[in-house]
Structure 1
Amino acid sequence: MAAGIRLEQVQKFFGANEVIRKIDLNIEPGEFVVLVGPSGCGKSTLLNLIAGLETLSSGHIHIGGAQVDDTPPRDRDIAMVFQSYALYPTKTVRHNITFGMQTRNIPKPDQEAAVDEFARLLQIDQLLERKPGQLSGGQRQRVAMGRALVRKPAVFLFDEPLSNLDAKLRIEMRTEIKKLHQRLGKTVVYVTHDQIEAMTLATRIAVMDDGSIRQFADPATIYENPADLFVAGFMGSPPMNMVPGRLVWDEGLFVVPEREHEGGLRFPIPAAAAARLGDDAGRKVVLGLRPETIFAAGTELPGPNRFVFEREVDVVEPTGPDTMIVFSVGGQDLIARVRPEDARAPGCSFRFEVDMDKAKIFDSETGLRL
């Protein structure tokens, strides 16, 4: 059975340093929740609090409806997979997987049945008599996952499990972890600093910064409707373009970028968004534009709120299926994602088209989306 997790005003101090700032979080049974954020934001500490590897300074943690504030890790019905594989080098794969079951005096037939089941599931059934030193990084991580899976816990906790793998293996293991979740239906809390991992794995993402959760939502909402400038800038590769400016009313609402020359660009705000912003002319804002919402003029289906402008190409970055074009607005670099056949060489003039229906407006002082 999968178990839900509920955090109530969870707080953690290391000395005088508050590293977790009274977090409330409700994770439903069977969810795959990813804690994502930059190094030092508190995501691993929060995971360790759920695991019982760190003690709470204040607040409460519930797993499966039971309060576990003072419950030792072994009694929380959890299993954890770490960044380091932490395998016993002198034991075979089989013995690494069964070691925890042996210490809990699980009958040998049950141990063998569990090993057979999960070794097949993880495609390591041919490796059971090898030792960790004879395995690749990806195989060792599968063994570490197998050791966690055989416990059949209600909750799995992953602490940056793929960070030691190369790029190709990371993608393969990411797919395997997602398949496992879909098949087993267990609750997963997964820590990473990699926003691509977060977007591809999670049913919901908790974006963390400085010990707090800035937004907790499904991947589409996080990407399309970020709550603030931090989330908008952290989630996405390449990141969202941020254009500081001010609102100007001139028979419609516009964002005029800072340091843009007189008579330069004015990004028109669609009528529905302008009505929501109200009479805010003169307000300092940040205009957020995802790279894929800026493309070569005339190459996409027509839309009602498109804005065409011309700029010189500064840098061209081919990535295979897309090409990134870097250009300048108000002295600031912006990135457009275009088709390779539409790209132009640096120094050439380029006609860009931007879908203003997908633009985001943020308050420059609070950072909150308006």
Structure 2
Amino acid sequence: MARVELSKVWKKFGPVEVIKGVDLSIDDGEFVVLVGPSGCGKSTLLNIIAGLETLTSGEVRIGDQVVNDVPPRNRNIAMVFQSYALYPTKTVRENITFGMQTRGIAESEQNQAVSGVSQLLHIEQLLDRKPGQLSGGQRQRVAMGRALVRNPDVFLFDEPLSNLDAKLRIEMRTEVKKLHLRLGKTTIYVTHDQIEAMTLASRIAVMDNGHVRQFGTPEEIYENPVDLFVAGFMGSPSMNIVTGRVVDENGLAIAVGDEEGTILFRTGPEQAAKLRGREGEEIHLGLRPETITHVGAHEAHDSDLFVIERVVDVVEPTGPDTMLVFTLGGVEAIARVRPEERVKPGEMFRFEVNMAKAKLFDSRTGLRL
């Protein structure tokens, strides 16, 4: 196993800057997920760690070694690709052992390695089949088996589950997590799916436009997003962001208005301290769907709770929860309520808001206050 250190990493393709001064320190045995929208640079950053892309400037260190000029085969890493990258004319066994054969490893050692990984991944019965005879999930297990037999210091996964259907993706996500718990190997995993990021990672690096916006535990990222981008990207459904104005009416509050009227979101002492001196300024108020729910749902101080009434536009049952879509501050907002709440589109609903969970963002910089 090994630590992975990125220091001031830049990558340009011609005049286009794709990675912009990224610093990351990944601990030995940690599971780090790089997450962000398409084109944010996450796969390019993974390829730089793998040695498949050369960096323009900066330093990549694996363990105690600077690997900027070290070819991929000598970095002791193993990579699992989105496309599986299996040889179609070779059997599963041959695919798994191909790299070992090219390195001249004895056949007895190859057989022992295949036996171990096939039992670990439950693919013993597939060893004599070819990739065309396998399902997507089975092919992904084979690709993981090929990576495992290398016994690498670092595992790299590039969106390995994105080609699978929803049910299989959840099953394989669990398998990847189990695998990491068993092996304890340093793992760097790229995805655009923030649910994958939240469920798999020990820490998440949220990327946007070549930058790492925030690097922290799933709880830190979700509960304390550093800016509007992270707040809006992480979470499903994402955080509701409404714009209001700071007012002083028997205490500091945020006035949010639309066609249905103006609502005063009253702040607690900690939030009021952040708003003091900003009277009259615009502010962005962040409320996750579970922060706006049915009356009586929150376990919080009465002083943090208040009720608003809004017309429901759309009702979206999901099974364990129901999502209610309504207008707040001129934008579409989503509340998460229990399925027992019987409400129809066009009806008025009483929502309970927990202001202790609300987030405040500067309207100019987008940073959380």
Q: Which TM-score band (shorter chain)?
A: over 0.9
Percentage identity across paired residues of the two chains:
67
Instruction: Give the corresponding residue for 2:179.
Output: 180
Distance 1:217 1:302 in 2: 26
Distance 2:293 2:359 in 1: 17
Superposed CA offset, 1:183-235 (max 9, x none) = 00000000000000000000000000000000000000000000000000000
Distance 2:228 2:160 in 1: 28
Distance 1:239 1:168 in 2: 22
Distance 1:299 1:207 in 2: 31
Instruction: Give the corresponding residue for 2:199.
Output: 200
Instruction: Give the corresponding residue for 1:76.
Output: 75
Which residue identity is paired with 1:278? Answer: R
Distance 1:55 1:318 in 2: 48
Distance 1:167 1:119 in 2: 24
2:277 is aligned, of 273, 279, 292, to: 279
3-state SS of paired residue (2:263): coil
Which residue identity is paired with 1:100? Answer: G
Which residue identity is paired with 2:158? Answer: D
What RMSD, in angstroms, separates the aligned Cα atoms of the two structures? 1.1
| Contact 1:325 1:343 survives alignment (8 Å) | no
3-state SS of paired residue (2:125): coil
3-state SS of paired residue (1:340): coil
Which residue identity is paired with 2:162? Answer: S
After superposing the two structures, state which structure 1 stretch, 41-50 or 105-114, moved more: 105-114
| Contact 1:316 1:343 survives alignment (8 Å) | no
| Alpha-carbon shift at residue 330 of structure 1 (Å) | 2.6
Instruction: Give the corresponding residue for 1:297.
Output: 295
Instruction: Give the corresponding residue for 1:317.
Output: 316
Distance 1:80 1:298 in 2: 49
Q: Normalized against structure 1, the TM-score is what?
A: 0.97
3-state SS of paired residue (1:321): coil
Aligned length: 368
How do residues 203-352 of structure 1 correspond to structure 2 at under 5 angstroms? 203-259=202-258, 264-301=262-299, 303-304=301-302, 305-352=304-351
Distance 2:297 2:196 in 1: 31
After superposing the two structures, state which structure 1 stretch, 274-283 or 139-148, moved more: 274-283
After superposing the two structures, state which structure 1 stretch, 298-307 or 78-87, moved more: 298-307
Which residue identity is paired with 2:234? Answer: M
| Alpha-carbon shift at residue 253 of structure 1 (Å) | 1.2
| Contact 2:308 2:352 survives alignment (8 Å) | yes
Q: Normalized against structure 2, the TM-score is what?
A: 0.98
Q: Which runs of 5+ in 2 are unaligned?
A: none
Which residue identity is paired with 2:280? Answer: G
Instruction: Give the corresponding residue for 2:352.
Output: 353
3-state SS of paired residue (2:365): coil
Distance 1:215 1:95 in 2: 42
Q: Which runs of 5+ in 1 are unaligned?
A: none
| Alpha-carbon shift at residue 260 of structure 1 (Å) | 5.9
